[in-house]
């Protein structure tokens, strides 16, 4: 089978080609993102492979289907960039990689917590300039602090395990209670209680209409003054303008994000020679108590290997007519996984 792989970097090609030694598909790599303008490149490809910022909307799907594409393989967990209703109408199958880097993402969230708390990023720059003053670098012990985890699937659970190792108290909010988190001593509470009592809040939930701008001005007003927010999940879980106001007022004491709601125009590209036009993002970078990374929480050797192997395994399952547990099946008012 010919597979058109969009949004590819050197590291994508390296790991996909290594995994393809077992499947021997004809992989054709395209650096541009998939959208309605670039979809014509996939003409004649039965399968198209995409990443988080590719636009798999109705017009793009119609062009792909007209060109012979019947399978779209996401090499990511989220599928909010896919028009599932149109895909179902056109007979295009959608598969994904549901959990490729739970340890990597959770560990990155902890890295943001530690760096923000102990001002490691600021201390690093000071020492390089010969400035060894400790003024402005005061942190706090994580021991006995309360960490609120919103979303307690695999990543949220692992974060809970790590923070429990620091001696933290765990509060959790999720529609589904994870017994493994409860076994750690994690306590499930309603969202207002978590917001009011957590010293650190870490987001690990999917982006859905119900969670869009979950952290907004109303939620921020309920938080402890000076608390810390961490987001390694999806950018639009946070209302960025509301968070900026919270930072300015001091209600939010620390912000660490690996995602941003308008990141598709920024992340994964080298824009160091350009003037970034996003004034909201630029404003966010001016705060000394904000740490931003460019959607790299997933970026470990183990994750890229898992993504490549699972993606090609999904393609094989569909091609050979085997049940695929990672297929996303759309029904009106319902989305079925597997």
Predicted confidence (pLDDT) per residue in 216-227, tens digit: 999 999 999 999
Pick the closest to residue 83 from 61, 63, 64, 65 (CA basis): 61
337 pLDDT exceeds 70? Answer: no
- Please tell me the predicted confidence (pLDDT) of residue 230: 98
Mean pLDDT value across residues 155-170: 98
160 pLDDT exceeds 70? Answer: yes
Residue 278 pLDDT class (50, 70, 90 cuts): very high
336 pLDDT exceeds 70? Answer: no
Long-range Cβ contacts of 27-34 (<8 Å, 24+ apart)? 27/3, 28/2, 28/3, 28/4, 29/5, 30/4, 30/5, 30/6, 31/7, 32/6, 32/7, 33/6, 33/7, 34/6, 34/7, 34/60
- Is the pLDDT higher at 330 or at 182? 182
Active-site residue, selected from the candidate residues 96, 108, 295, 326:
295
- Please tell me the predicted confidence (pLDDT) of residue 44: 97
Mean pLDDT check: name the lowest of 166-170, 195-199, 206-210: 206-210
Token pair belonging to 164: 């429990």
Distances (CA, A) of 192 to 168, 189, 214, 215, 218: 20, 8, 12, 11, 10
Mean pLDDT value across residues 261-282: 94
- Please tell me the predicted confidence (pLDDT) of residue 100: 81
- Please tell me the predicted confidence (pLDDT) of residue 330: 81
For 263-317, the DSSP string reads: GGGTTTS--TTS----HHHHHHTT-TTEEE--S-TT-SHHHHHHHHHHHHHHHHH
Q: At which residue do the structure tokens 């028009």 appear?
A: 83
Distances (CA, A) of 212 to 53, 122, 302: 17, 32, 30
**Residue 234 bears catalytic tag:** yes
**Residue 295 bears catalytic tag:** yes
- Give the global pTM: 0.91
Active-site residue, selected from the candidate residues 108, 263, 309, 326:
263
* CB 255, CB 277: distance < 8 Å: no
Pick the closest to residue 248 from 199, 283, 213 (CA basis): 283
Residue 78 pLDDT class (50, 70, 90 cuts): confident
Distance of CA 263 to the CA centre of its chain: 11
Pick the closest to residue 204 from 265, 253, 251, 161 (CA basis): 161
Helices and strands in the chain: count of H runs, count of E runs? 12, 14
H/E run at residue 252: strand 252-257
Token pair belonging to 227: 């608390």
**Residue 218 bears catalytic tag:** no
Active-site residue, selected from the candidate residues 75, 145, 234, 326:
234
């Amino acid at each position: 089978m010919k597979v058109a792989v969009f949004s590819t970097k050197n590291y994508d090609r390296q790991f996909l080609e290594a995994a393809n030694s077992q499947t021997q598909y004809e992989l054709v790599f395209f650096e541009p993102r998939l959208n309605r303008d670039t979809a014509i490149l996939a003409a004649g490809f039965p399968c198209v492979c995409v990443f988080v910022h590719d636009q798999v909307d109705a017009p793009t799907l119609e062009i792909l289907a007209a060109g012979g594409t019947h399978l779209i393989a996401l090499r990511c967990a989220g599928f909010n960039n896919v028009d599932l209703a149109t895909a179902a109408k056109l007979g295009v199958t959608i598969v994904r990689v549901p959990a490729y880097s739970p340890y990597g993402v959770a560990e990155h969230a902890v890295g943001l917590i530690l760096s923000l708390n102990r001002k490691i990023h600021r201390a690093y720059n000071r020492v390089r300039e010969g400035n060894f003053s400790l003024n402005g670098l005061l942190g706090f012990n994580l021991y006995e602090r309360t960490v609120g985890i919103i979303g307690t699937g695999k990543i949220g659970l692992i974060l809970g395990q790590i923070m429990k190792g620091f001696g933290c108290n765990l509060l959790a909010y999720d529609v589904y209670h994870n017994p493994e988190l409860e076994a750690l001593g994690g306590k499930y509470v309603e969202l207002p209680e978590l917001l009011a009592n957590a010293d650190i809040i870490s987001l690990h939930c999917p982006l859905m209409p119900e969670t869009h701008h979950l952290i907004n001005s109303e939620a921020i007003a309920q938080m402890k003054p000076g608390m810390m927010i961490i987001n390694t999940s999806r950018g639009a879980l946070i209302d960025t303008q509301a968070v900026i106001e919270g930072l300015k007022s001091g209600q939010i004491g620390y912000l660490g994000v690996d995602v941003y709601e308008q990141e598709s125009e920024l992340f994964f590209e080298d824009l160091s020679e350009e003037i970034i036009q996003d004034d909201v993002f630029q404003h966010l970078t001016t705060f000394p108590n904000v740490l931003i990374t460019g959607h790299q929480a997933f970026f470990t050797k183990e994750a890229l290997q898992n993504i490549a192997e699972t993606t090609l395994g999904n393609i094989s399952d569909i091609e050979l007519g085997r049940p695929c547990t990672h297929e996303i099946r759309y029904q009106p008012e319902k989305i079925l996984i597997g």
